[in-house]
Amino acid sequence: MTKLRFGLVLAVITLVLCGCSREGGKEAYAAKNAPEPSKVDVARPVPTSLLITDYGPRAVLRGRPFNAQPDGSSAIWLKLDQPLLGGSAVVNFSGRELKTTVDGSVVTAIVPPSLIASPSNAKVVVQVALPDGGKISSNEVTISVSND
C-alpha cells in the first residue's frame, strides 16, 4: 500500500510540475483559450503620403561609379519621412524601376552603369504598392549626371 501511495504522490507531483492534465496539458489549454485569429491580426498602416527628406548622391560624374558596389554598379540612398512597414518599395530612376532594398525609412537602389552613361538630370521617385492594387509615389528629387 505504501508503494502505491508513493506512486500516486509521485504521479501528482509530476503532473503539477509538468503542467499536464487529463485534458492534454499546457498545449491543449493554450489552444482552447487562444483568441481567434481575426481578433489578433493587425493591419499594417497604409501610407497616405510619402516624402523623400534626404538622399545621396545629389550629383555624379557621367560614366563613373558612385557608392560603388562589388559588381561595378552604383547605389543611391533615399531617406523617407516614415518607415515602410511592409518592407516593399521600388525606386524609379528616370522612368526605370531599380532593384530596391528597404530598411525602415531608408531605401537603397542599384543604378546600372547605362543610366549614368550620358549627362542628364535624373528624376528619382520612390513608389509603394497599396493593398488595393494602387500605388503611392513620393516627391521627385533630382540627381545631376554631368561631364565634370
The pLDDT-based confidence of 148 (bands split at 50, 70, 90) is confident
* Domains of the chain and CATH, by start: 2-40 (no CATH), 52-146 (2.60.40.10)
Are 48 and 136 spatial neighbours (Cβ–Cβ below 8 Å)? yes
Q: Residue 3 has which C-alpha cell?
A: 508503494
Taking only the tens place, the pLDDT of each residue in 70-126 is 888 899 999 999 998 777 899 999 999 999 999 999 999 999 999 999 999 999 999
Nearest to 73 by CA among 65, 81, 64, 62: 65
Torsion of CA 17, 23, 28, 31, to 10 degrees: -130
Are 139 and 103 spatial neighbours (Cβ–Cβ below 8 Å)? no
Three-class secondary structure of residue 13 per DSSP: helix
What pTM did the predictor assign? Answer: 0.68
